[in-house]
Structure 1
Amino acid sequence: MSDAEVLGAWWRSMVDHARQATTVRALWFGLVELAEAEGARWHLYVGGCREFDREDDSCDWAAEPAWWPEERYLFLAGLNDPAGNGAEAMLAHAADMVRSLAPEQSWPGLLEGVAVGFDDGDFVLTWTA
């Protein structure tokens, strides 16, 4: 299965569990390296936030998620390929994947923004209302 197919199936399951997440105004797709039996590998995760501020260069609005699904972490093989090319390449790849997913179209409520980034700061806004 391709990364796009894995991402799409995972996202559909996230949306199914998000019906009660009525306070979410923005989605944060984070990049995190997790230790596993195979070694440390990069994963994508999602959280929903009560607030969104497109002018916030620090992305502080994403720090306290209101929606934090249990199965939020997803391993995508393609994230680990650009990792060897540096953080910018990985962030660009992840942002492209999230843009192609278009979560703003399938989310069950009204969103104001979607972002992808590393928890320590670098991020990209992939969609704003």
Structure 2
Amino acid sequence: MASSTLAAARARISQLDIEIEKLQRLMDPLLAEREKCSQTVADFKYPVLTLPPEITSEIFLQFLPSYPERPNVIGPQSPPFLLQICRQWRDVALATPALWSTVDLFLDNPRYDAQQKDLLERWLRRSGNCGLHSAGV
């Protein structure tokens, strides 16, 4: 009885090997096409990423609210939000001191704490020679 089970298992292995070989022949062209499409995606450049940093920086400055309003400290309308888009935008935003020259922080707030102080210090460093203007200072 055991030899018939062993023979059946060997026969099944042979059948599976044949099916796997057939599938492999079908997969090879699909894998090649997938690799070609992946390379196309990798080679694609987003037009916005081809802009010179000076133009991107100017667009970022237009992103800020008009004076006398101040940009939010967090959220989608804040300079730190630009740091999260991609590495190139992060580099441009950090190299644009005017982007960090205004902030809406209220230092007389009873909840003012070390975290807010750290945020203010980072903002000040990023503002470079532009200085820092705050609605709350």
TM-score under structure 2 length normalisation: 0.26
Name the structure where helix makes up a greater proportion of residues: 2
Q: Please identify the structure whose Cα radius of gyration is greater.
A: 2
TM-score under structure 1 length normalisation: 0.27
Name the structure where strand makes up a greater proportion of residues: 1
Which is bigger in relative contact order (C-alpha 8 A, separation at least 6)?
A: 1
